[in-house]
């Protein structure tokens, strides 16, 4: 028997919540996106008026001001948005204990067990939509399907305040004509590759040979084939489920564009300090370092490298990240955001095979220095001690990466791979 999966997406979440608290701004274009003077951030959310004017999520604030001169910017208030998210989950919890957050404003709900007493998926979706509207004052768009991928497509299909059902009888007519980039995990690079092979719609992808897709995209090609055909069986996590920690990372949008290796080095060290401090707090060491970079036109790339030894040392993480950056970027455009991540985590207290080509006495001194910095900052605050590098640009270094820029999105397959593709990690 098919499952009944809903995907609920709060419409223009941040902006909608802000309008509840700023009714005087109704009827005027609004965007949530940080400090327009410091430009410490980008457009995180916009209301419908700003969207119609051409404002897009991810735009720099000055760009949004150009396309919509009368726009009002409000700084994000994450504590407020989290409170509304929690209230929405309390409503969802009255229909199922299988509810999986996909960010603050999106959630999958497996209501299969509730259909016998509360009606079919469409009936439950209508009830949830009405309750969110009247109890919280905001609207949601909900997709209804038998799998998570099509349910999410449904919530994006019509906005705002809409419900879309994709079932076995209509998905070929409604889903398959959609652009292939509408499918989860088809980003810009994958879209371009698929388009080059004549695959432009989800239907094209569904009809393509799995062996062909694997040859062009690796194992992810098989996953996308399964997604497009509605065959994904990935479960909805149970309420309050927490997957084992598989990586620790941090990223930030910089106060100004980065235009040199020296600029990037400041941000990389700030992020590496944050990552290494969290590794130590949780008794982990990373065996792989990953860096992600996005330029001022929102083009991005990610690179990673396996380390000679597992580490929680700031300098080793930062040096590996900078080496990856220098090998991968040629300064065609300024950079807007950078991320650093440690993956392949191991227990920091487990025995380690010594490496004859590594100065272990020096590594031990670096570890003690990091621990001393942790202690000083714990007692006297983050800015009580900083590396000399940070004084070369106080605007860039005025970022407390550990406290101010923490985002831990959930992976789609954090409970395990249910696509049938072995060895895949997303």
What's the pLDDT at 133? 97
What's the pLDDT at 35? 62
Catalytic option among 18, 37, 90, 106 = 106
The enclosing H or E element of 110 equals: strand 106-110
| CB distance 233 to 418 below 8 Å | yes
Rg over alpha carbons for the chain, rounded to the nearest Å, is 23
Residue 414 annotated among the catalytic residues of the structure: no
CA distance 115 to 108: 16
| CB distance 114 to 92 below 8 Å | no
What's the pLDDT at 407? 42
Establish how many alpha carbons lie within 13 A of residue 178's alpha carbon, considering only the half-sphere containing its beta carbon. 23
Tokens coding 179:
């652009």
What's the pLDDT at 420? 59
3-state secondary structure of 293: strand
Instruction: List, in order, residues 6 or more apart from 270 with CB less than 8 Å away.
Output: 252, 390, 397, 399, 401
CA distance 53 to 28: 11
What's the pLDDT at 414? 53
DSSP 171-202: HHHHTTTSBGGGSTT--HHHHHHHHHTT--BH
| CB distance 301 to 328 below 8 Å | yes
Count Cβ atoms below 10 Å from residue 328 Cβ, excluding itself: 12
User: What does pLDDT average to in each consecutive run of 10 residues of the chain (426 residues)?
Assistant: 94 92 93 65 84 87 89 88 93 94 91 94 97 96 97 94 97 97 89 95 96 92 95 85 72 86 93 92 90 86 91 94 94 90 84 66 88 87 84 77 50 56 52
pTM of the model: 0.68
The enclosing H or E element of 143 equals: strand 140-145
CA distance 160 to 132: 13
Tokens coding 16:
């909608």
Domains of the chain: 1-166 (3.30.70.270), 176-229 (1.10.150.20), 247-404 (3.30.1490.100)
pLDDT > 70: what percent of the chain? 88
CA distance 83 to 141: 19
Instruction: List, in order, residues 6 or more apart from 195 with CB less than 8 Å away.
Output: 180
What's the pLDDT at 409? 44
CA distances (Å), origin 339, targets 29, 126, 193, 265, 335 = 31, 39, 25, 12, 12
CA distance 18 to 15: 5
| CB distance 128 to 138 below 8 Å | no
CA distances (Å), origin 283, targets 190, 269, 407 = 36, 20, 20
């Amino acid at each position: 028997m098919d499952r009944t999966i809903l995907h609920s997406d709060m419409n223009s979440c941040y902006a909608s919540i802000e309008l509840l608290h700023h009714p005087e701004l109704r009827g005027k274009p609004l965007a949530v996106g940080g400090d327009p003077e410091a430009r410490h951030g980008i457009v995180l959310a916009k209301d419908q008026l700003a969207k119609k004017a051409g404002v897009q999520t991810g735009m720099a604030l000055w760009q949004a001001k150009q396309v919509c001169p009368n726009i009002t910017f409000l700084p994000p208030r994450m504590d407020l948005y989290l409170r509304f998210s929690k209230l929405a989950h309390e409503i969802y919890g009255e229909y199922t204990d299988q509810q999986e957050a996909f960010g603050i404003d999106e959630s999958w709900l497996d209501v299969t067990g509730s259909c016998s007493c509360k009606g079919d998926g469409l009936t439950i979706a209508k009830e949830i939509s009405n309750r969110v509207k009247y109890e919280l004052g905001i609207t949601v768009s909900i997709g209804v399907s038998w799998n998570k991928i099509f349910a999410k497509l449904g919530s994006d299909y019509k906005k705002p305040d809409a419900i879309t059902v994709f079932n076995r009888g209509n998905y070929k007519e409604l889903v398959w004509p959609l652009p292939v980039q509408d499918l989860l995990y088809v980003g810009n690079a994958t879209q371009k590759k698929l388009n080059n092979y004549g695959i432009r719609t989800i239907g094209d992808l569904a009809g393509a040979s799995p062996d062909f897709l694997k040859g062009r995209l690796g194992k992810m090609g098989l996953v996308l084939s399964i997604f497009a055909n509605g065959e994904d069986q990935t479960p909805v996590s149970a309420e309050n489920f927490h997957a084992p920690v598989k990586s620790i990372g941090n990223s930030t949008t910089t106060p100004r564009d980065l235009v040199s290796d020296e600029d990037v080095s400041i941000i990389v060290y700030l992020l590496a300090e944050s990552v290494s401090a969290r590794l130590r707090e949780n008794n982990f060491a990373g065996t792989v370092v990953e860096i992600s970079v996005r330029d001022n036109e929102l083009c991005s790339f990610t690179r990673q490298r396996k380390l000679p030894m597992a580490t929680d040392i700031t300098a080793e993480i930062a040096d590996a990240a900078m080496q990856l950056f220098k090998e991968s970027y040629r300064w065609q455009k300024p950079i807007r955001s950078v991320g650093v991540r440690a993956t392949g985590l191991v227990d920091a207290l487990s025995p380690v095979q010594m490496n004859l080509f590594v100065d272990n006495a020096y590594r031990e001194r670096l570890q003690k220095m990091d621990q001393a910095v942790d202690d000083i900052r714990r007692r006297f605050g983050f800015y009580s001690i900083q590396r000399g590098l940070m004084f070369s640009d106080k605007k860039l270094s005025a970022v407390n990466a550990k406290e101010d820029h923490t985002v831990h999105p959930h992976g789609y397959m954090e409970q395990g791979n249910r696509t049938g593709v072995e060895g895949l990690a997303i």
